[in-house]
Copies of this chain bind each other. A is one copy, B any other.
Amino acid sequence: MKTDALLKYISNYIDLTEDEEQILVSKIKYRKYLKGQYYGQQGDVCKYSGFLISGCTKMFYSDDNGQEHVVMFSIKDWWTGDLGSYISQNPADYHVQCIEETEVIQFDYDKREELLTEIPKLERFFRIILEKALVASQKRIIRNFSLTAKERYLVFKKLYPTIEQQIPQYLIASYLGITKEFLSKIKSQLIFEQ
């Protein structure tokens, strides 16, 4: 089943009975997106929070100069969608686009609310993963401040070794907060140093 990956992931944090798993499965849906397809757009309300089964998405922001800034990538066993828009049901600040063919399990906003009421244990599940996500986000802020671009790139490679193979370099540059040209220079410098 397509939902197995999600159930297994949840079981790392809480124990669901078979009945509860059935209720859960009845309120979520599987969906496949093509490469390049938008999961959600800046300005639209984010209707679904998505759990990735396979593939990769980028969440990004287009600034006033038309420049794109990648906020985050999502891969297998992580979540996608503009969380701020999802929880408030207000227009999204970010675009979310699939970098490759991507399979997700979707939580409709209303359905998730129902689920949280019917299976209060899920509150605990989301609370725990949000704590972890917040910690990771804070660490990223610190890295952006205290490390040079080169160091940030090396940390990125260590933290997410698989992502680098999945996506073009200019997106990594954007995620790291530098230009694609400069990342290219960093890489050639690293080769030279060896």
Contact = CB atoms under 8 A, between A and B. Distances in A.
Interface of A: 61, 63, 67, 69, 71-72, 83-84, 87, 93, 116, 120-121, 123-124, 126-128, 130-135, 137-142, 144-146, 177
Nearest to A134: B134
A133 B71 CA distance: 15
Contact of A83 (B67, B69, B128, B131): B131
24 contacts: A61-B142, A63-B146, A69-B142, A71-B141, A71-B142, A72-B138, A83-B134, A83-B138, A84-B135, A84-B138, A84-B139, A87-B135, A116-B124, A120-B120, A120-B123, A120-B124, A123-B124, A126-B127, A127-B127, A127-B130, A130-B130, A137-B141, A144-B144, A144-B145
A138 B92 CA distance: 13
The secondary structure that dominates the A interface is helix
Contacts of A84: 135, 138-139
B137 A61 contact: no
Nearest to A65: B146
A14 to B, nearest CB: 10
Contacts of A127: 123, 126-127, 130
B139 A134 contact: no
Given A71-B138, A130-B127, A144 B83 contact: no
Given A83-B134, A127-B130, A138-B84, A177 B69 contact: no
A124 B121 CA distance: 10
For the complex of A and B, 6 pairs with smallest distance between CB atoms: A123-B123, A130-B130, A84-B135, A137-B137, A127-B127, A145-B177
